[in-house]
Chains A and B, each alone.
Chain A
Amino acid sequence: MSAGPHRGNWLTFAIFVVAVLIYPVLFRSNYLVGAGIVVGVMAVATVGFILLVGYARQLAVGQAAFCMIGGYGSALLCTRVGIDPLSAMVLAAVVSMVVALIIGWPILRLRGYALAMASLSFQLILGFTVIQAQSITGGAAGVWGVPKFSVFGVQLATDISYFYFVWFWVIVTVAVGLIIDRSAIGRSLRAIASSERAATSVGMDIAQYKLQMFVLSAGFASLTGSLTVHYLRIISPDVFGFQYSLGMITAVVAGGLNSIAGGVVGATVVIGLREALRVTRLPELEGIIMGALTVIVLIAFPSGIVGAYQAIAERVRRARRAPAVAAARVADEVTPDGAAGLNQQAGLTGRELLTVAGASRAFGNLRAVDDVGFAVEEGSITSLIGANGAGKTTMFDMISGFQTFDSGSVALRGQRLEALQPHAIARLGMARSFQNIQLFDGLTVLENVMAGTHRYTVSGVAATIAALPSARRRERESVVEAERWLAFVGMSDFRDHLPGMLSFGQQRLVEIARALALKPTILVMDEPASGLNDTETERLAYLLLNIRAAGVTILLIEHDLRLVMGISDHLVVMNHGKKIAEGSPQEVRSDPQVVAAYIGTR
C-alpha cells in the first residue's frame, strides 16, 4: 500500500487520457477515427467485463446479452418513444442493471461451467425472444433509423465528435475500474479469488461482491450497446450475438484479466486484428486467429499482454535496485507488544459467551458430531480436544458457519448462529484461524491484515466510486489497525512481503493478526499448533495468553496437548463425535474415560 505503484498507475492513466485526446489529431483519416470509435465502444464493455471475470472470477459467457438490452433499449426509446439519446442510454443502462440484479442473484450461486451455461442460455433466450417479439423489436430485421447521438440538443454529427464522446465513456469506465482496484473492494475481490473460506471468515459477503460486479459490468455492457446503435444507426439480433460475447472473452484474455488496462488493450487487439484482416482481405481467418489467440494466451501467458508487460517492467525495476532487497530480517524473538485497543477486561467474567447445545451433524451413517453441548466462558481460553476423527473440525465448521446443523444450536451472547452464513458470523465478532493456513496469496502481509478490518472499515461500491471522504478515512483506519496487529504478533518487519515468502510459523502469526484485526469478542482457532515445531508452539502459547489478557475469549480446537494443558481454563473432550468429558485441565487429565479414549492411546 505504499504510494509508489499508485502514482505510477495514475501517471499511466494521465498518459492514456492524453493519448485519447491527440489520437484523432494525429490520425486524421476517417478510417482510423472510425476504428477508434469501434475500439472505444467495445472497451467500455470489456473493462466492465474484467471487473466481473478477472476480479470477481465469474465467467459469464453470455455477457453480450446486456449489450443487447442497451442497444435495443436505446434504439427503441429513441425511434418509437422519441426521447433523447442520452436519457435513453441512461434508462437502458438502468434496465440492464436491474435485469442483472434479478438474473444474477440466482445464477451467481452457480460455479464454473454451470454459471457459464446459465449465462449463455440467458443470452440465447434473450436473442430468440427478440426475434419472436417482432411487433416490438422488428424481429430478425431489427430496428432501423436510429438517430445520431445528441447531447442536450447538440448532435454529434462528425465522427471526431463521436470519437471523443465514446472515449469519454471509456475514460469514465477505466477510472471507475481503477478506483475499485485500489479500494478495499478491490482488495476484497482479490482476497475472495485467493481463498473464499478465509474471505468469508473476515466478514466478506462473497455473494454480494459477485452480484455487485455483475451489475456494474452489465451497466457498462449496456453503455456499449447504446453507443454502438447510435454509430451503426441500426440494431439487429445478430449484432450482439454469441459471437460478440466470444469477442469480449478473447479481448479480456488477450488484454489481461488482472488489470483494468487489460480491457482497453484487449479491445484494441481484437478490433485491430479484425480490421487488419479485413484490410488484407483475409477476414475468413478471423475465427481461427481469435480462437488460437485465446488458447495460446491462456496457456502461455495467463495474465495477458498487460500482465506480461508488468512482469517485464517489474524485472527491469528489480534489476536496477537489486541489492536493496536484502534478506529479510528474521524476527526470531516474537514478543508481542502490549495489547492496546482490545477490550481491556481481562479475566474470567463468569458469563457465557458462546453456547453450543445439542449440536449434531451426520454424514451418511457417520455421526461426526453427535449431541454435543458446551459453553465458552467470557475471558477464558477454552479448548475442544480429541483424537483425529473425533469430530473436532466438523464442530469448528459448524460453529463458524462452514457446515450445516442437523439439529442443535450455537449462540454468541444469546444471538443464534446456526442458520447464519460465515460472513455474518464474522460480523458479529467471531474471528477464525484455520488448520491449513488460509492467507490471501496475492496480497501483501499488511493487506492480508487490512482485510481483517473489513467488517468495520469497508465502504459500499457507490461510496467508493464517488471517493467519498468517509471511504478514504476508513481506508486509513484500516492501515492503522493492520499495522497495530502486525506489531502485536511481532510481524511488522514483514508488512510488504507476500505470504508465500514467509515460513509456516510466520504465516500462522499473520493469520492470527488478521483474525485479531476483526476486533473480535471471540477467536476460534482450528489446530493452530499443527505444523509448528516445539519452539514455535511455545511462542504460540504465550501469544494466546497475551490475546486472552487483552480481553479476547479463545476457543481452541486442538489435539496438541502440550499447547492445550498449560494455557486452558476449561477443556471439552470429544471422542467419536460425542462429548465424553469437560472440566479444568486437572479434572480432565484424571478422567478415566479421557485417558482411555485419548491420552492412553498416544
Chain B
Amino acid sequence: MSLLFSSFVQFVMSGATSGCVYTLVAIGIVLCASATNVINFAQGEFVMLGGLVGATCALAGIPAPFAVLAAMVTCAVIGAVQERLTIAPIRGAAPFMQITVTLGVAVCIRGAALLIWGKDPHGLGGFSGDGVIEIVGAYIPIQALWVWGTTIVAIAATFWSLNATWAGRAIRAVSTNAVAARLMGINTGLVSLLVFTIGGAMGGLAGVVIAPITTVAWDTGLEYSVKGFTAAIIGGLKSPGRAAAVAMGIGLIESLSAAYISSGSKDIITYGALLLYLMMHGGVFTLGRRPLGANEQH
C-alpha cells in the first residue's frame, strides 16, 4: 500500500468517526424538529454533557457499560426537563421565542458544566483500552470501532422503533400532521416529551463514546450543535436518514479538507457550505414573485 493511500484511508476513517457523532446529534435534532417544530439549539450540549458524565464515571472506577448508561440517562432526564420547563409552556409561540429559549437552555447547560467540571478538558479511557488497529496501513483507535458500532445500533434502533412501535408511529404521525394526529387521539404533548428525551439520550450516547478520542470540556457542545444542524437542515429536517447521510458527509469533508487544504479551512468550508445552502434554499436565485402564505410569519 502506498503511503498516500494509507493516509487517505486514515483521514476517511477519522472523518467517519466524527461523522458518527454529528449523525447522532442530527437525528436528535430531526426528531425534535419534525415532531414539535422546535429546533433545539441545546442538542450539542448533550454531547458535551454525556462526555463529562462518562469521564466522571470512569474516574470513579465505574465500568464502561454503566458509564454509558449514566451518560444517556443523565442527558435523557435533562432533555425531558428541558421539554417540560421550557418547551411545553410556549408551544405554538413565535419561532423566534422558541429558538431563543433553546439558546438560553444551551447557555445554562454550558454554565452548569463549567461550574461542575471546570475549564479543563476531561478524557476517559477507551472502552476496550486505548489501543489502535491497522487497516490497510491506516491506524484506527479501537474506540472508533465502538463509535461506529454504537452509531449503527442507534440508527437501527431509531428506524425500527419509528416503524414498528406505537410510540414511533405516534412520532411519525405528529411529524406528518400534528393537528390530524391530535384529532386521532395522539397526545402531542407526550410525543414532544418523548422526542426531547430520546434526543437527550442520543446526544449523551454520542458524547460518551467520542470522549475517549477527542476529550471533552464545557465549551465543546456548540460545535456539535452547529454541525448537527447543518446536517439536519441540509437533510431537510424531516428525514433522519437523509440527515445521517449529510452528517457523515460533513465528517468526511471536514477531515479531508483539514488534511489536504489546511487545518483551519475545515470549519470555513463546512459553515460556508451551510451558508450557501441556506441562501439557495431561501430563494436567492429565484426572481420575481414568491408565494407568501398567510401563516408564514417570521
Contacts and interface: CB of A to CB of B under 8 A. Distances in A.
Nearest to B266: A128
A421 interface: yes
Given A113-B39, A132-B268, A118 B278 contact: yes
Contacts of A290: 104, 107, 111
Among A57, A114, A196, A422, the most chain B Cβ lie within 10 Å of the Cβ of A114
B108 A295 contact: yes
A125 interface: yes
Contacts, number: 173
A401 B288 CA distance: 10
Interface string B209-238: 000000000000010001001100100000
Contact of B86 (A131, A200, A299, A421): A299
A251 to B, nearest CB: 12
B239 to A, nearest CB: 17
A404 B290 contact: yes
B298 to A, nearest CB: 5
Contact of B271 (A121, A287, A401): A121
Given A196-B297, A288-B112, A128 B267 contact: yes
Interface stretch (A89-97, A175-183, A242-250, A471-479): A242-250
A298 B112 contact: no
Contact of A298 (B100, B274, B292, B298): B100
B226 A124 contact: yes
Nearest to A134: B264
A117 B233 contact: yes
Contacts of B274: 117-118, 121
A246 B222 CA distance: 12
A286 interface: yes
Interface string B87-124: 00110001111011101111111111011000000000
Nearest to A118: B278
B290 to A, nearest CB: 7
A249 B100 contact: yes
Interface of B, secondary structure class, is helix
A284 interface: yes
Interface of A, secondary structure class, is helix
Contacts of A148: none
Interface string A101-129: 00001110111111011101110110011
A338 interface: no
Interface stretch (B14-22, B129-137, B279-287): B279-287
A169 B95 CA distance: 32
Given A298-B97, A419-B288, A287 B226 contact: no
A109 B284 contact: yes
A294 interface: yes
Interface string A404-426: 10000000000000111110000
B291 A286 contact: no
A76 interface: no
A117 B100 CA distance: 12
B234 to A, nearest CB: 11
B222 A242 contact: yes
A246 B97 contact: no
B282 A106 contact: yes
Contacts of B283: 109
Interface string A238-278: 00001000100110010000000000000000000000000
Contact of A288 (B94, B115, B275, B298): B115
A589 interface: no
Nearest to A53: B96
Interface string B13-38: 00000000000000000000000000
A294 B104 contact: yes
Contact of B103 (A114, A294, A299): A294
A298 B101 contact: yes
A121 B227 CA distance: 10
Among B109, B267, B275, the most chain A Cβ lie within 10 Å of the Cβ of B275
B278 A112 contact: no
Interface of A: 53, 57-59, 61, 105-107, 109-114, 116-118, 120-122, 124-125, 128-129, 131-132, 193, 195-197, 200, 242, 246, 249-250, 253, 284-295, 298-299, 302, 397, 401-404, 418-422, 436
30 contacts: A57-B96, A106-B282, A107-B279, A109-B284, A111-B95, A112-B39, A113-B99, A114-B233, A117-B226, A117-B229, A118-B279, A121-B226, A121-B230, A125-B275, A128-B264, A129-B268, A193-B298, A246-B107, A249-B103, A284-B111, A285-B111, A287-B107, A287-B110, A287-B114, A288-B115, A291-B105, A298-B90, A298-B100, A299-B86, A404-B289
Given A121-B278, A294-B104, 13 more contacts: A57-B96, A107-B278, A113-B95, A121-B274, A124-B226, A132-B268, A196-B296, A288-B115, A289-B111, A291-B106, A298-B90, A299-B86, A299-B89
Interface of B: 39, 41, 85-86, 89-90, 94-97, 99-101, 103-112, 114-115, 222, 226, 229-230, 233, 262, 264-265, 267-268, 271-272, 274-275, 278-279, 281-284, 288-292, 294, 296-298
